[in-house]
Amino acid sequence: MRTCVSRWTRPLLARHASSTSPNPFPYPGHANPSPHQIFHLPPSASLQDVKARYYDLVRIYHPDSPLNRALPPATVQARFQSISAAYDVLRGRSRLLPSGETEPVDRKKDHHDLSSAMWKAKQRKKAELAFAAPLISDKWKDRLMLGAIFFTIGAFVAQTYSTRQQALSAASKDYAHARSDYYGPKRTRRVPSHNDSELAALDGDRTSDKPP
């Protein structure tokens, strides 16, 4: 009877200590702790106790928890994965191998399963965004630089083309003026015709017939 009483009074004492300690369920300090040691639960704990303790541990050991800011990210991730693996073992979703590793059992995931893969995907996304930010900045810099180069080349080509067109236009005008000056007098000068010769002869006869 004493054993039974002490078995159920320990979780109560642990919950009472949670009100004064920032981490009422510290992670075991020895290597390869068992799932029950990680959860601070006796082997006779029910599934409801396991789920309730799992939620407590997630609030404490989740990578985004303020209690883990002083720990290295690798340690935080390893502990969170160990808690998730221990939760699967205590629920019968995985089996514990002699080496301390867990082997998944064929099962269907439910809404209580907080998969570490989701957290990995989130961290991977953050890392990709953090890595892509300078690349995007450098890419925009390269694009702006290339745009400035192309704009300068285009402006130079446009100016050269405009200058050449102006020179060609001026040369065409000068050629037209020179051509008109050269051919103009020849066009305006009248060529004597046969009728003009006859009229000149008649005028000569008239002047000769007049008395002196």
Per-residue pLDDT, 20: 46
More confident residue, 113 or 178: 178
Q: In this structure, how many other beta carbons lie within 10 angstroms of the beta carbon of residue 36? A: 16
d(CA 121, CA 114): 13
Domain 2-114 annotated CATH 1.10.287.110: yes
- Percentage of the chain modeled with pLDDT above 90: 20
- Percentage of the chain modeled with pLDDT above 70: 58
Contacting residues for 42 by C-beta, under 8 A, at least 6 apart: 7, 10, 36
Reply yes or no on whether the pLDDT at 108 is more than 60: no
Q: Where are the domains of the chain?
A: 2-114, 128-206
Q: pTM higher than 0.75 for the full model?
A: no
